[in-house]
Each structure stands twice: as C-alpha cells, then as structure tokens.
Amino acid sequence: MAAEYGRAVDFEWNSAAVLGVREKSLSINGEPVNVTSDEDNGWQTLLDGDAERSVTIELSGVTKDTVLRLAKMTGGASLNSTATLTYTNGDVLSGTFHLGAYSEGIPYNEAVTFTATLMSDGAVTYTPA
C-alpha cells in the first residue's frame, strides 16, 4: 500500500460527510481469553482469537456543522448510525457505531473545535479494495 494523506481518507456518519473533520483515529481492539492455570508455571496462556472485538473511531476538527452535536443532544436512536471510513486505495471500514463522548472547544477569539468518540455496536466490516 502506498502512503496516503489523512485528509484524503473520507469519514461519513449516516451516509453523509461531517464537515470540518481534520483528524481521524482508528483503534481495532481485541480482548484475549486468559486460560492460565497452575500447570502453566506462572506463564500466561491465551486462547487463539479474541473473545471480544471492537472498533473505536476518534474524530477532531473545526465545527462547520451540527450533525454530531445534534445527535448527542437528541440522544436515543440518533446516537447509533453507520460510520464509514473510505481510504484512497478503495479500502472501506463500515459498521454501526455509537456516538459516545462529544465535546467542543469554544475559545474567545478562535474557531470552535470538536472531538468525538465513536464505538462499534455489532460487527464491523472491512472490505479491501
């Protein structure tokens, strides 16, 4: 895979772009199953595969629309929606995500900024180009 600009990786929430996004972070999390017992002589032993998997997307940027603020303030079903990351090579990561934390920075003489954390709710698909 060739190197790519982060600004060229598209993020969509509920099939629409969120304006003002500057940074996107992706964490693919896995929790192993620890089956260590006395006969392992103190050495940790893990089962193959993850017991639980999750994906976290973190966003930050300049507030240019109210899509995420509105979803957080409205609550309920609006907190869960489809989030999609599309890479410049055509790879796509998509699934239902819950809008967890949302915050804004509102300095006196600067742009209003935001940060948001999205947590997967169910299976996330990854489709290589």
Tell me: the pLDDT tens digits for 79-122? 999 999 999 999 999 999 999 999 999 999 999 999 999 999 99
What mean pLDDT value characterizes the chain?
Answer: 94
pLDDT of residue 4: 87
pLDDT of residue 3: 86
pLDDT of residue 2: 77
List pLDDT tens digits, range 20-60. Answer: 999 999 999 999 999 999 999 999 999 999 999 999 999 99
Instruction: Check the CA dihedral 123-102-80-4 and report its sign.
Output: negative
> Residues 32, 46: contact at Cβ < 8 Å?
yes
Helix (H, G, I), strand (E, B) or coil at 32: strand
Helix (H, G, I), strand (E, B) or coil at 40: helix
> Residues 21, 84: contact at Cβ < 8 Å?
no
Rounded CA-CA distance 61/89 in Å is 23
pTM for the predicted model, two decimal places: 0.89
pLDDT of residue 76: 84
Rounded CA-CA distance 40/57 in Å is 37
Helix (H, G, I), strand (E, B) or coil at 39: helix
Two tokens, residue 113? 């900024």
> What is the secondary structure of 55-116 as a DSSP string?
EEEEEEEE----HHHHHHHH-GGGGEEEEEEE-TTS-EEEEEEEEEEEEEE--TTS--EEEE
pLDDT of residue 1: 63
Per-residue DSSP letter, 6: G
